[in-house]
Amino acid sequence: MSAARPGLLCAALLLSACSGEQSVLAPAGRDAEVLATLFWWMLGGAVVLWLLMNGLFFYVTRIRPQALSPRAAEALIIGGGIVFPTVVLAALLSFALSEMPKQREPGENLTVRITGESWWWRVDYLPEGSDTPIASANELRLPTGQRSELKLNASEVIHSFWIPALGGKTDMIPGRETRMSLEPTVPGDYRGQCAEFCGESHALMALAGVVMTPGDFAAWLEKEAAPAAIPTSAEALRGLAVFNAEGCGGCHAVRGTEAAGTVGPDLTHLGGRVTLAAGILPMERDALIRWIRDPEALKPGARMPGYDHLSDAELSALATYLEGLE
Amino acid sequence: MTDFADTFPPRGTRSNAEPADPQPQGIYPPTEEMLNEPVDPAIARAQENRLRAVWQQPQGWRYWSAVNNSEVGAWYSLTAFAFMLAAGVLALLMRVQLAVPDNDFISADRFNQFFTMHGSAMMFLFAVPMFEAISILLLPAFLGARDMPFPRLSAYGYWSFLIGGIFVLGSVLFDVAPNSGWFMYPPLATEAEGPGSDIWLLGLSFIEVASIAAAVELIVGVIKCRPPGMRINLMPLYAWYVLVVGGMILFAFPPLIAGDFLFEMQRSFDWPFFDPERGGDPMLWQHLFWIFGHPEVYIIFLPSIAIAAMVVPTAARRPITGYSWIVLSAVGTGFLSFGLWVHHMFTTGLPSLSLGFFSAASEAVVIPTGVQLFAFVATLMVGRVKMILPMLWIAGALAIFTAGGLTGIMVAVAPFDWQVHDTYFIVAHLHYTLFGGMIFPIIGGVYYFYPFITKKKMSDRLGRWAFWLMFTGFNLCFLPMHVTGLQGMPRRVFTYPEELGWNALNMVSTIGAFVTAAGVLVFAWDLLRPKSRQPLTERNPWGGGTLEWAHDVPDPGWGARSVPYITSRYPLWDEPELVGRMDAGRFYIPDAPEGKRETIVTSAVDAVPQHVARVTGPAWCTIVAAVFTGGAFIFPTFHWYPPAIVCGVLAIATVLYWLWTSTAQIPEAPMKDAGLGLRLPTYVSGAKAPGWWAVFITMLGDSTAFASLVFGVFFYWTARPDFPPEGADHANLALAALAAALIAASWGATRIARSQNRRGNVARTRILLAAAPVLALASATSLVGAVWLPDMDPVSHVYPAMMWALVVWFCAHTLLGVIMQGYCLAGSVFGKLTPRYDADLWNTALFWHFKLVMGLVGIAVIALLPRML
Amino acid sequence: MLGHRHSSLWHMILAPTVWAVHFCVVYGWTAVQCARAGGPDAARTGVLIATAVALMAIVVLGWKAWRQWDYLDDFDYVHDQPTTEHRREFLGHAGWLLAIVSAIGVGFNALPAVFIRSCL
């Protein structure tokens, strides 16, 4: 598919850009590419058919042709209503059916278990041959050049996992394990978002999708598997003290420290992530402080309590410590 | 010449020894000489006066006790329209919230309430009721009938709808509306706090019951209330669609009612149907919801197309081309639409093979839909088109609907749906199908039928304004949403961040929404503005060919002055003398000498006259019954069970009073002169009676709900490895067998009572009818014991819960059957039911046939099946 | 219950009923094979057998409907006269058309078993 045609059509649809990090039409994975191409073909066909049908209607109602014989009209019903759609739909259906197993092929080498929580994502990497999962959250990193397997689950309510640039979505259902596989092709940052309504802050449950070259990915995974960085600066150490004093470890885990909670997201390499609070804030110091002070204001119904009783200095120190967990 | 063959369904089910009903006598069909014979004007005037008195609406505040189809239909339509406006306001508020990114115009929770209520109200309080409302209003006129077969049932349905609708929609004002989406997926909706979910479940179940009642009535109306001579191949297309849609409602709504039942048992009593911790599965709800939810789309679409099928021939000034093709398309769509439900669940991780079946059926359903549209185009091609205003709306509908249909073909491709499912692409798609497939044709229909309903015309100029505002506004609002969705914006989000490129698209959509709303307002003004100074229209302002345009201006209230003998699809075009003869009272039942409201009942396929049916007149008991039924559904929302039970008992008592005082009344004479030399029975029982058909059709729907519960058992078995759990206690086999034997005995007693009564053995009939309820109650007790004794705790696991659910179903039906047996016994004792006038007993026996089958299957599923799994 | 086929609505909808039964059978069969036993090959074989049976049934019903329509006697496809013959031919015509659509529907429903070889 050449770039020109989609570009033209986009312009026709008064569209600022087909690109965008969460767009179906800016694919960066094998499945999404096929589906984007399929879409443009279907759109072309649909536009032609729409014009034919409505043009015909306009012609017979407004231009007033010679009245047609009933037999010719009957032929129109047979041709337009039965024969043509049967052929076209059979072809489209055959393509769709043959594509479906390709997009659902089992992944190799890497399995990632993703669990939908309210309203964030628990992400555990299970590389081939490793026995302990590498825990992370709210960010999915995948290598190019291979099909990776995703195992999906949910803790309380139904969610749906979706990174449009890489491929279709699959629901995450409590009590069931669903699966899908993705084959990214272009390294870069993409955005995903929960697609099944999951309660009050459904709109605020996004996910960073990061596609890396196989080499970069292997290096990153190795780092991700390692325990947390030990704080060195005095500010960061003060932050660690606040972290412990406030009992953050009751809910959050920071591997290599005594914090081993599993209720909330794993924070071991929090500072190394692209976004904060499930894709709704940039990974910045100010954002961290705002979030810790009052999560409810940023994400209605969020389970994490607010820490507005902490002083600015304490919050600042805490943010320094967390930012340092790269 | 006289041909009284009734072949659908056949006779021969009753034994030879039973005395048969009286048969029609005289001449049928009428000869041309008989039709040409003039009617004495003095007699005609006297007849008119009597008819007018009988069909007069109650005056003053008593007006609200009216049950006539023209009144109830009008209230029904206006109420549905009002609910639509309310749901539209919610949509506008949501569009304001989404106009700009990171907006805080309304809170997340309120937004969630709004979109839940927008969808629920548009579907349950507008789209389906609107079909029923319009059909109640128009169908009798299409069929030259005086009224619907069961006017009080329509009124009861309307009042239930009004109470339920206000209750459900009103919850928004108190900030307690359901907020889990109109699809109510568990566990989100089962775990939701506050009464919102219960309001949805109970309030809408109440309305669904009313919907099914209306469907039953409409089906019976089409099958049994056609004018003499209107064979099945001459029926107006609208009647075909009503038949198909009525049938679809019967098979689509009950699974949802079964789902609601399971859902409410979990909400109220913690039976874990959808709780995976205790063996339940949230997916069962999705199946049951969408087995309802997808046919629902076609239940909405087909009646609107039916309106187009009435308008198009008038505009083309010739009969529809491809009548058989349209029947094919209506029936075919009706069937295929039941094979689509999983396309709402393409992303739930079902095996590709399973998805493939639904993808295939979703594509196949395009074929009958396309045939439908091509038949319209072909008709217009063959005719000489006059572009009347209603046709403009139909043209707009076609433009919008074909776009929606084409995106429908796209999303039926399962892998493509994985991308766009639950995005604004779907929002755009579904609104294109619903505006094109429902809103536009309906408004076109309102412009077309308004002169029929009020004898005044709506404004052409305002109609054009409304059209162009709505058409542009709609496209401005929803066309960009395709792109918004492809750009990755999910549905049901209360806000979105700035940097994703959705800002301009959303702003355009919001502007479009308000332009659409302006168009709706213009239409609403045109519809409701006072028109008392406007002159009355002529009788057939559009030059239509079907019977509704034979109604007189001003409307005398009786529908058809006399019920005509029909020989053509477009009688007003093909038989120039027809209207004159109808007016003169030349045709059937031109008089009401007994002062009773009557309509003529004909055979199902060939419309041979069979019976003059008495239809019910104004009553308050329908409103009282609706209020108590409402109480029985609404109090449990707040877990106030004692008043709910009291209301339920009072509702049943009111309905019994209503039935006792106005249905199956013993007539003054067994036969009456129906006009044109034909004498017809005034009382029939069994398969010729509309009431029997109503029971038959209702029980088909009821069996569907039961089948849904059985499907639930099989579903758990395939979906859960622990169903039934290893070593679980099963129901007691001996007690279950006893229950089966007793229920069969109760059925046998009822069935034998029917024939004994016919043979005149009144004493034996009464003994049997007294024994039958005892046997039935013993059966229910025994079955409760069968699950009680092994201590199957329904809270512990879904397996005992499911078995208990079947037992509850069994007991509820047993109670209903016992009430019916008791009603017949009372009828026999107090002289309402005699060997000759025995319709109630026929209907009760018919109920018990279904009850027996469901009971035995239910007992097998409870006691035998789990031991085999 | 069904009545005589010339005057029965039930006969008219037999072909789509075959479609509906076929649909339920292939869906139920596949669900059980993929979830409990058998696996994809058993599922696919069953679907193809069910399809062959359903298509044969539809062909028989379609043929009967075609005979009832009796198109070749008068080439009538409008059936708008108030006679028993027109009513009979109308029901035959509609039944025949429904048989065609049902056959297409059944054929479409067999395609997944042709293209998809796994239960994933």
- Structure tokens, B141: 């006129």
How distant is the Cα of A279 from the closest Cα of chain B, in angstroms? Answer: 10
Q: Any CB–CB contact under 8 A between C67 and chain A?
A: no
Which residues, 6+ apart, have CB-to-CB distance to B495 below 8 Å? A203, A204, B97, B98, B101, B102, B103, B104, B108
- Structure tokens, B63: 């007006």
Query: pLDDT per residue over B137-186, tens digit each?
Result: 999 999 999 999 999 999 999 999 999 999 999 999 999 999 999 999 99
Q: How many whole angstroms separate alpha carbon A210 and alpha carbon B155?
A: 61
Asked if the Cβ–Cβ distance from A73 to B480 is below 8 Å, we say: no
Helix, coil or strand: residue C114: helix
Helix, coil or strand: residue B12: coil
Transcribe B293-316 into DSSP letters.
Answer: HHHHHHHHHHHHHHHHHHHHHHHH
**Mean pLDDT on B294-306:** 94
* B750 close to B840: Cβ distance less than 8 angstroms: no
ipTM higher than 0.85? yes
The confidence score (pLDDT) of residue A7 equals: 43
Q: How many whole angstroms separate alpha carbon A29 and alpha carbon B419?
A: 13
Query: pLDDT per residue over B500-509, tens digit each?
Result: 999 999 999 9
* B505 close to B481: Cβ distance less than 8 angstroms: yes
Q: What is the mean pLDDT of chain C?
A: 91
Chain B: residue nearest C6 by CA?
B7
Asked if the Cβ–Cβ distance from A93 to C116 is below 8 Å, we say: no
Asked if the Cβ–Cβ distance from C101 to B328 is below 8 Å, we say: yes
- Across B1-10, B200-209, B463-472, which has the greatest mean pLDDT? B463-472
Q: How many whole angstroms separate alpha carbon B260 and alpha carbon B266?
A: 10
* B179 close to B109: Cβ distance less than 8 angstroms: yes
Which residues, 6+ apart, have CB-to-CB distance to B313 below 8 Å? B319, B320, B379, B383, B544, B545, B570
- Structure tokens, A166: 């890489």
Transcribe B227-272 into DSSP letters.
Answer: PTT--TTTS-HHHHHHHHHHHHHHHHHHHHHHHHHHHHHHHHH---
Residues of chain A positioned with their CB less than 8 A from the CB of C115: 94, 97-98, 100-101
User: Phi-psi category of B656—alpha, beta or left, where left has phi over 0 and alpha has psi -120 to 50?
Assistant: alpha
Residues of chain A positioned with their CB less than 8 A from the CB of B420: 24
Task: Considering only the beta carbons, identify the residue of A97, A170, A200 that sits closest to B347.
Answer: A170
Work out how many CB contacts closer than 8 A connect A with B: 275
Query: pLDDT per residue over B356-379, tens digit each?
Result: 999 999 999 999 999 999 999 999
Q: Which of A76-90, B646-660, B672-686, C2-16 has the lowest mean pLDDT?
A: C2-16
Q: Any CB–CB contact under 8 A between A170 and chain B?
A: yes
Task: Considering only the beta carbons, identify the residue of C35, C87, C119 that sits closest to B231.
Answer: C87
pLDDT at B345 over 60: yes
Asked if the Cβ–Cβ distance from B605 to C101 is below 8 Å, we say: no
Listed as own residue / partner, the contacts of B327-330 with beta carbons closer than 8 Å and 24 or more positions apart are: B327/B237, B327/B240, B327/C94, B328/B368, B328/B371, B328/C94, B328/C97, B328/C98, B328/C101, B329/A81, B329/B368, B329/B369, B329/B371, B329/B372, B329/B375, B330/B237, B330/B240, B330/B241, B330/B244, B330/B302, B330/B306, B330/B368, B330/B372
CA B499 to each of CA A280, B364, B493, B502, B761: distance values in angstroms, whole numbers, following the listed order: 11, 40, 16, 8, 84
Q: Which of A240, A272, A250, A244 minimizes the C-alpha distance to A136?
A: A272
Q: How many whole angstroms separate alpha carbon B35 and alpha carbon B579?
A: 12
Residues of chain A positioned with their CB less than 8 A from the CB of B406: 46, 49-50
Asked if the Cβ–Cβ distance from A196 to B422 is below 8 Å, we say: yes
Q: How many whole angstroms separate alpha carbon C12 and alpha carbon B99?
A: 52
Q: Any CB–CB contact under 8 A between A15 and chain B?
A: yes
User: Domains in chain B, ordered, with CATH?
Assistant: 69-528 (1.20.210.10), 686-868 (1.20.120.80)
Residues of chain A positioned with their CB less than 8 A from the CB of B715: none
The confidence score (pLDDT) of residue B17 equals: 60
Q: How many whole angstroms separate alpha carbon B549 and alpha carbon B826?
A: 45
Q: How many whole angstroms separate alpha carbon B593 and alpha carbon B591?
A: 6
**Residue B3 pLDDT grade (very low, low, confident, very high; cuts 50, 70, 90):** very low
Query: pLDDT per residue over A165-201, tens digit each?
Result: 999 999 999 999 999 999 999 999 999 999 999 999 9
- Structure tokens, C29: 């069969």
Q: Which of A51, A26, A44, A46 minimizes the C-alpha distance to A36?
A: A26
How many domains does one find in chain C? Answer: 1
pLDDT at B187 over 90: yes
Q: How many whole angstroms separate alpha carbon B327 and alpha carbon B306?
A: 11
Transcribe A87-116 into DSSP letters.
Answer: HHHHHHHHHHHHHHHHHTPPP-SEEEEEEE
The confidence score (pLDDT) of residue A67 equals: 75
Helix, coil or strand: residue A143: strand
Q: Any CB–CB contact under 8 A between C93 and chain A?
A: no
* B273 close to B801: Cβ distance less than 8 angstroms: yes
β-pairing, A170-172 with A159-161?
antiparallel
Q: Any CB–CB contact under 8 A between C24 and chain A?
A: no
Query: pLDDT per residue over C1-14, tens digit each?
Result: 456 777 788 899 99
The confidence score (pLDDT) of residue B314 equals: 95
pLDDT at B392 over 90: yes
Asked if the Cβ–Cβ distance from B233 to C91 is below 8 Å, we say: yes
Task: Considering only the beta carbons, identify the residue of C108, C111, C120 that sits closest to A104.
Answer: C120
**Residue B559 pLDDT grade (very low, low, confident, very high; cuts 50, 70, 90):** confident
Asked if the Cβ–Cβ distance from B406 to A46 is below 8 Å, we say: yes
Query: pLDDT per residue over C34-68, tens digit each?
Result: 988 778 999 999 999 999 999 999 999 999 999 99
Which residues, 6+ apart, have CB-to-CB distance to B127 below 8 Å? B299, B300, B434, B438
Residues of chain A positioned with their CB less than 8 A from the CB of C107: 90
Task: Considering only the beta carbons, identify the residue of C3, C27, C115 that sits closest to B8.
Answer: C3
| Residues forming beta bridges with residue A150, ordered by sequence position | A112, A180
Q: Any CB–CB contact under 8 A between A86 and chain B?
A: yes
Q: What is the mean pLDDT of chain B?
A: 94
Residues of chain B positioned with their CB less than 8 A from the CB of A99: 415
Asked if the Cβ–Cβ distance from C9 to B232 is below 8 Å, we say: yes
Residues of chain C positioned with their CB less than 8 A from the CB of A86: 104
| Same fold across A20-65+104-215 and A234-323 | yes
User: Phi-psi category of B735—alpha, beta or left, where left has phi over 0 and alpha has psi -120 to 50?
Assistant: alpha
Asked if the Cβ–Cβ distance from C116 to A101 is below 8 Å, we say: yes
**What CATH number matches the domain at A20-65+104-215, 2.60.40.10, 2.60.40.420, 3.40.50.150, 3.40.50.10890?**
2.60.40.420
Helix (H) or strand (E) holding B275: none
pLDDT at C70 over 90: no
pLDDT at B733 over 70: yes
pLDDT at B10 over 60: no
Domain that holds residue C111: 17-115
Query: pLDDT per residue over A79-99, tens digit each?
Result: 999 999 999 999 999 999 999
Query: pLDDT per residue over B816-856, tens digit each?
Result: 999 999 999 999 999 999 999 999 999 999 999 999 999 99
Q: How many whole angstroms separate alpha carbon B298 and alpha carbon A244?
A: 60
Residues of chain C positioned with their CB less than 8 A from the CB of A89: 108
| Residues forming beta bridges with residue B598, ordered by sequence position | B614
**Mean pLDDT on B9-33:** 73
**Is the peptide bond between B29 and the residue preceding it cis, with omega within 30 degrees of 0?**
yes
Calculate ∠ Cα B657-B135-A57, nearest 5°: 170
Most C CBs within 10 A among A100, A103, A150, A180, hence the mutation to make, goes to A100
Query: What is the CA B440 to chain-centroid distance, rounded?
Result: 21
Q: How many whole angstroms separate alpha carbon B227 and alpha carbon B230?
A: 6
CA A322 to each of CA A242, A245, B804: distance values in angstroms, whole numbers, following the listed order: 11, 15, 53
Query: pLDDT per residue over B457-510, tens digit each?
Result: 999 999 999 999 999 999 999 999 999 999 999 999 999 999 999 999 999 999
Chain B: residue nearest A118 by CA?
B188
Give residue limits of the domains in chain A.
20-65+104-215, 234-323
User: Phi-psi category of A281—alpha, beta or left, where left has phi over 0 and alpha has psi -120 to 50?
Assistant: beta
Q: Any CB–CB contact under 8 A between C114 and chain A?
A: yes
Residues of chain B positioned with their CB less than 8 A from the CB of C101: 328, 332, 336, 364, 367-368
The confidence score (pLDDT) of residue A20 equals: 63
Distance, first Cα to last Cα, chain B: 61
How distant is the Cα of B465 from the closest Cα of chain A, in angstroms? Answer: 19
pLDDT at B800 over 90: yes
Roughly what angle, to the nearest 10 degrees, separates helices B352-364 and C14-35? 160
Q: Which of C2, C109, C10, C106 minimizes the C-alpha distance to C58?
A: C106
Helix (H) or strand (E) holding B726: none
The confidence score (pLDDT) of residue C2 equals: 56
Query: pLDDT per residue over B133-150, tens digit each?
Result: 999 999 999 999 999 999
**Mean pLDDT on B206-212:** 88
CA A28 to each of CA A32, A34, A43: distance values in angstroms, whole numbers, following the listed order: 7, 10, 20
pLDDT tens track of chain A, all 326 residues? 344 444 444 444 444 444 568 999 999 999 999 999 999 999 999 999 999 999 999 988 888 667 778 888 888 999 999 999 999 999 999 999 999 999 999 999 999 999 999 999 999 999 988 888 999 999 999 999 999 999 999 999 999 999 999 999 999 999 999 999 999 999 999 999 999 999 999 999 999 999 999 999 999 999 999 999 999 999 999 999 999 999 999 999 999 999 999 999 999 999 999 999 999 999 999 999 999 999 999 999 999 999 999 999 999 999 999 999 98
Asked if the Cβ–Cβ distance from A38 to B416 is below 8 Å, we say: yes
Chain A: residue nearest B324 by CA?
A74
- Structure tokens, A272: 């190394």
Q: Any CB–CB contact under 8 A between C90 and chain B?
A: yes
CATH 2.60.40.420 fits A234-323, yes or no: yes
Q: Which of C38, A196, A106, A104 minimizes the C-alpha distance to B349?
A: A104
| Residues forming beta bridges with residue A174, ordered by sequence position | A154
Q: Which of B7-16, B239-248, B455-464 has the lowest mean pLDDT?
A: B7-16
Helix, coil or strand: residue B785: helix
